[in-house]
């Protein structure tokens, strides 16, 4: 996908390398009761994910549907709590207890920590479903301020109108309802609502996948401008690697709840090593004839998270799988050249 030139601009904001948000071995398990067509058990939707993210940087999380991307987004946005592990803002845990005897129930979020929740906001995939159709845009934008601040009605309106202008909406839009806007305009409203509390981290869960290509570029440009202006950290959940390639600083590839490869966007796209990463990039269309791809076509489907295979979860679909892969699960380790983290016994050779 070819995007306008502004998307390719290097971020100019000078930021600290200290992480704003960190995850340490985050896990999220769900208990599944026995039904007519399924057996009882535990689904490990997220099974030990760690990362660090500094201001002004974008971490993209990619993988097939069911790999755990959206579960990670909900945990980072504190919509759900982790079954185990730590989520830290400025080095401080957002959980009220560091351990839990019930792994399914997990840690509890500090519900009284209003500042913590304001620091991380989320933009969802479907801008129409995430906006209340019965409320006017002004009301939608003012609601977070009414709940989380002591602003007067006049101050809330002024703040909402200012943010509307910043995302490219006109003053007359204040009194309109969501159904009166196009998909791109609705996503701008969703972004304005996320920005209204001055967050430091935005979780972007497939924010442009429901939009036309031309509108995608406009929204991506807006997000890039906001990041430069406010020094925001982005966690960008996506299955579209052509978008990820142009906006991310780092990429984390997930498969069945685990990270299989993590590297800078330049390294990952130029020299993917995990067979799953190679397969994902092979399936990404490009109009650039200079881009050389390692061709790898996957067979079969993503295994059920309720009944994962023994050993490496990717082994039933991997062309490099060996007996070792079918018996033992590879740990995510730093590569010998320090270029990436990789969880694979038999990585692809570099070109």
Q: In this structure, are residues 200 and 20 in contact, taking their beta carbons and an 8 Å threshold?
A: yes
**HSE-up of residue 101 (Cα within 13 Å, Cβ side):** 0
Q: Residue 73: phi, psi to the nearest 5?
A: -60, -45
125 CB-contact burial (10 Å; exposed 0-12 / middle 13-18 / buried 19+)? buried
pLDDT at 350: 72
Q: In this structure, are residues 141 and 193 in contact, taking their beta carbons and an 8 Å threshold?
A: yes
Distance CA 129, CA 135 (A): 13
Average pLDDT over residues 284-298: 62
What domains can you pick out in the chain, each with its CATH number? 5-248 (3.40.50.300), 255-342 (no CATH)
3-class DSSP state of 340: strand
More confident residue, 13 or 72: 72
Q: Residue 116: phi, psi to the nearest 5?
A: -65, -45
Average pLDDT value for the chain: 85
pLDDT digits over 213-253, tens only? Answer: 888 999 999 999 999 999 999 999 998 898 999 899 999 99
The string of DSSP codes covering 278-303 is HHHHHTS----TT---------S-PP
Distance CA 187, CA 167 (A): 10
CB neighbourhood size of 157 (10 A): 16
Distance CA 340, CA 334 (A): 6
pTM of the model: 0.88
Average pLDDT over residues 12-25: 74
pLDDT at 310 over 70: yes
3-class DSSP state of 317: helix
pLDDT digits over 171-222, tens only? Answer: 999 999 999 999 899 999 999 999 999 999 999 999 988 788 888 999 999 9
202: nearest Cα among 222, 217, 178 = 222
pLDDT digits over 107-140, tens only? Answer: 665 544 677 888 999 998 887 788 899 999 999 9
pLDDT at 163 over 80: yes
Distance CA 139, CA 116 (A): 23
According to DSSP, the residues that pair with 21 across neighbouring strands are: 53, 89
Return the CA Rg of the chain. 21
Q: Which residues have CB under 8 Å from 99's CB, separation 6+? A: 107
């Amino acid at each position: 996908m070819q995007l306008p030139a502004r998307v390719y601009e290097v971020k100019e904001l000078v930021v600290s390398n200290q992480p704003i948000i960190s995850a340490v071995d985050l896990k999220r398990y769900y208990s599944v009761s026995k039904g007519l067509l399924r057996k009882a058990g535990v689904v490990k939707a997220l099974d030990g994910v760690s990362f660090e993210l500094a201001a002004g940087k974008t971490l993209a999380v990619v993988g097939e549907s069911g790999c755990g991307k959206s579960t990670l987004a909900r945990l980072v946005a504190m919509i759900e709590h982790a079954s185990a592990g730590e989520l830290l803002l400025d080095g401080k845990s957002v959980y009220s207890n560091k351990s839990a005897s019930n792994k399914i129930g997990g840690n509890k979020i500090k519900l009284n920590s209003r500042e913590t929740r304001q620091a991380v906001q989320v933009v969802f995939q479907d801008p129409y479903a995430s906006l209340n159709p019965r409320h006017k845009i002004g009301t939608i934008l003012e609601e977070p301020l009414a709940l989380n601040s002591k602003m007067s009605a006049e101050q809330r309106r002024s703040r909402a109108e200012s943010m509307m202008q910043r995302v490219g909406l006109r003053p007359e839009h204040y009194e309109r309802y969501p159904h009166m806007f196009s998909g791109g305009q609705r996503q701008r409203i969703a972004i304005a609502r996320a920005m209204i509390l001055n967050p430091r981290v935005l979780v972007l869960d497939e924010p442009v996948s429901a939009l036309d290509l031309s509108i995608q570029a406009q929204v991506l440009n807006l997000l890039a401008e906001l990041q430069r202006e406010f020094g925001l950290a982005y966690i960008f959940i996506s299955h579209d690697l052509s978008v990820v390639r142009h906006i991310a600083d780092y990429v984390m590839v997930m498969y069945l709840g685990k990270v299989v490869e993590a590297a800078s966007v330049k390294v990952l796209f130029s020299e993917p090593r995990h067979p799953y990463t190679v397969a994902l990039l092979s399936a990404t269309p490009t109009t650039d004839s200079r881009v050389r791809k390692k061709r790898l076509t996957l067979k079969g489907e993503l295994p059920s998270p309720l009944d994962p295979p023994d050993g490496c979860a990717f082994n039933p679909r991997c062309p490099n799988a060996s007996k070792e892969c079918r018996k033992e699960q590879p740990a995510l380790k730093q590569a010998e050249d320090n270029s990436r983290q990789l969880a694979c016994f038999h990585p692809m050779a570099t070109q």
